[in-house]
Amino acid sequence: MHLRKKTKYDTVWFGLIIGSILPLIISVIVIMARSGEMDFIRYFKHTFAYGVYADMLRVSVLIDLLVFYFFLNREFYASTKGVIIGAVVVGLYVVYLKYL
């Protein structure tokens, strides 16, 4: 049996924070990159008004897949569970934005 040392990054809470915050950060970076000459706040409101933000957020949840595999390869199984929970939370938020 292989015993591994538990690190401070191998917690469900760490994975949950990474899994739920990272898609939001990625979507804000995409909005900043795409805003061009329009100011950020106006473009951000524009993406919410036309429902584009939910689509960008949905695509940015795919970044969680990379984080999931990173934690899985490092054998941080508790953090992997947190990333899955975070992706589900962001997915529920996307459903809320898109359909409610």
- Domain ranges across the chain: 12-99
Residues with Cβ within 8 Å of 11's Cβ and at least 6 positions away in sequence, in order, are: 78, 79, 82
Q: Is 80 exceeded by the pLDDT of residue 1?
A: no
pLDDT digits (tens, 9 = 90+) for 89-99: 998 988 888 88
What is the Cα–Cα distance from 15 to 25, expressed in whole angstroms? 15
- For residue 81 the two structure tokens come to 């569970």
Residues in the chain: 100
pLDDT digits (tens, 9 = 90+) for 18-46: 999 999 899 888 888 888 888 888 888 88
Q: What is the pTM of this model?
A: 0.83
Query: Beta-carbon neighbour count of residue 28 at 10 Å?
Result: 16
